[in-house]
Amino acid sequence: MAHFAKPQPYNSAVRIVDPAEQSDDTKPLPKRESPQRQCRNILIYGSCRFQDKGCIYYHPPSESTTDAAHPDSPAPPLSAQAVNAPVFVPKISFNPVPAASPTIFHSFSPPTSPTPYYSNHEEYDLYTQNQSTNGSSQPPEDVADEYQEHSLAYLSDHITQPDFDDHFTSLSNFYQPTQPPFVRQPLDYHLYTRPIPPAFTPSHFMSDSVREELQKRSEAAHSIPFPPYNLPDELQGYHSLVPLEQTPSDRRKFFSWFSTVYRATNANDGLAYTLRRVENFRLVHQAAFDAIEAWSRVQHPNIIRVREAFTTRAFNDNSLVVSYDYHPNSQTLFDLYLRPKQLAFPQSRFGGATNLAISEATLWSYIIQIASAIRAAHEAGLAVRMVDPTKILVTGKNRLRISSCGIVDVLIYDTRQDVTLVQQEDFVMFGRLLFALCCGSLTAMNTLPKALDVMTRMYSADVKTLALYLISKPSPHKSIAQVIEMIGKNRLLREMDETQISTDRLESELASELENGRLFRLLCKFGFINERPEFAREPRWSETGDRYIIKLFRDYVFHQVDENGNPAVDLLHVLSCLNKLDCGTDERIMLVSRDEQSCLVVSYKEVKSCIDTAFSDLSKASS
């Protein structure tokens, strides 16, 4: 059986002295006959702020009153340890609410559970505030250590060693809580770790620039042309066709055939795809589609993936249609750097108003990406044959993708052609593209000396050397490996560094939205349950039973006010509550009704169980 030590009038530690040494003045006073117990706030803090406000415990006369009544009586001596002793801070929390099911209190009446008799005063709020600030059920380390150091020093000076252990054990037993103390769970991936001010800040949401770019892409993927074009309603499983060329002059020629580009939605997966239609083409050899099948297996970040190809008469002619992945808001290199501009642009190096020159760092990035795409195609035994400024798309910041791959293989299908010679044509087209981008004109190769002079003045000698190598006479020894070697490992490593930096930036943007989907699903459950007018023939279904707890919790999260009655718009509070609810912690909170006549003390785990039960009932009824 545990031994409970009786609390002493002034200190829990009593000095052991010889009875013969005690004088009449130091003898303890006889015990009061009153059943009232002395207020412990007097023993701990020296005063009680509720003494004149109805505190039910006994308050002895103050020292000033005693001195006035007995001016000649000396003041009791105090030791140095007692004078310098810190404020008592308990090392455990006293939870006045028993660990049971939700308990209802009316008019904020104190609970009747067996608790320490001094826990109803506001002096206990000092520790409670400290607990909520530190996020732990333990007092601050500096205060706890200082208190423990002074306490042990005082006990060692006033208690003999043989009785020290027994007395210290009795003190520990006296302050044992009525239930296990609540331990606050540490922050984990359910909660945001970075502190935020009590307002809606962009630190937990996607940056405005990235959000604007993605919204523009989404808008482009769902835009509807006006006025509508006379297009087929359905095309081999594709519907909602939208032309991507702005004017009829944007139609491009593949050798002797015109082509048009559309955006369409696949009926199987609901995704948008790009359809390139070649007009008035009659397929002669079915084996020509073997090239499309080979291209569909090529997956590279700088090549727009080929999906399928088919012929159709839906346009009132014999048309070849090839399906590609769709990248909204893309622009060709021709539109960005080579299309003539009429206003607000300086003269190009070859006459005519055009765009500004490309920086060398951007140019080398383009060279590396195109070379990487050519390498992937050549290793697969294919030839790109589309290294053309009108077929290379800029789908992001300095991000290139080669489009329309595989079409030429179908249009000029020849079983006798040598793939090696066709791959050599990719290098020549690559070199012509470099001269066009450096000089800002598609006709730069027509006057090669002038183009070389412009390239020498604008860019480094490595650019000119690479361009001349690419347009040189085809030879069996020319390969993409030599092109990559001429680019240089330093530029390749720099490009890889930029790619990883971009990946880190996008991952950071993704991390800011990481929890939004989970919390959105939780808020949807709130929306289905709260204020539901009727369910299961019960008009007040959302106001009774477990649903009433959910309603009070909703008010606790979103409808709090400050001391002046103004709405408390605190995003940190909302995020903390929703994440604790989603993971179902054992932390208990007090939910107050709107008329302030009743309150419930529940845990987040119990509220979560109520939400799951209510939402399960709704789900079963809807199925």
Nearest one of 416, 107, 492 to 483, comparing CA atoms: 492
What burial letters (b/e) apply to 315-326, b meaning 16+ CB within 10 Å? beeebbbbbbbb
Q: Is residue 171 packed enough to be buried (19+ CB in 10 Å), middle (13-18) or exposed (0-12)?
A: middle
332 is in an annotated binding site: yes
Give the separation between CA 436 and CA 463, rounded to whole angstroms.
13
Asked whether 94 and 119 are in contact (CB, 8 A), the reply is yes
Task: Give the Å distances, CA to CA, from 243 to 246, 259, 275, 402, 600.
Answer: 8, 11, 9, 20, 62
Copy the structure tokens of residue 594: 């709107």
Owner of token pair 């600030």: 133
Residue type present at position 197: P
CA distances from 287 to 293, 308, 406, 415, 537 (A): 10, 14, 13, 9, 67
Give the C-alpha separation, 203 to 194, whole Å. 9
- Copy the structure tokens of residue 367: 């060279």
The dihedral sign for the CA sequence 328, 334, 338, 339: negative
H or E stretch at 553: helix 546-558
Continuous H helices in 25-98 = 40-45, 63-69, 80-83
User: Which of 428, 417, 329, 323 has the alpha carbon at shortest distance from 374?
Assistant: 428
Residue 391 assigned to a binding site: yes
Distance (Å, whole) CA 396 – CA 296: 23
3-state secondary structure of 409: helix
Check the annotation: does 138 bind a ligand: no
377 close to 383: Cβ distance less than 8 angstroms: yes
Determine contact, residues 108/171, Cβ cutoff 8 Å. no
Contacts of 223 (CB under 8 A, 6+ apart): 242
Which is it for strands 257-266 and 588-592: parallel, antiparallel or unpaired?
unpaired
Quick one: tokens of 277? 């239609």
DSSP letter at 338 equals I
What are the φ/ψ torsions at residue 175 (nearest 5 degrees)? -95, 15
Q: Is 331 annotated as a binding residue?
A: yes
Q: Is 325 annotated as a binding residue?
A: yes
325, containing H or E segment: strand 319-325
Q: Give 502-507's long-range contacts (Cβ < 8 A, gap of 24+).
A: 502/397, 506/210
* Residue 326 is assigned to a ligand binding site: yes
The answer on whether 330 is annotated among ligand-binding residues is yes
**How far apart, in whole angstroms, are the C-alpha atoms of residue 76 and residue 67?**
11
| H and E: helices and strands count for the chain | 20, 13
Structure tokens at 142: 């500096």
Annotated binding-site positions for ATP: 276, 325-332, 390-391
Annotated binding-site positions: 276, 325-332, 390-391
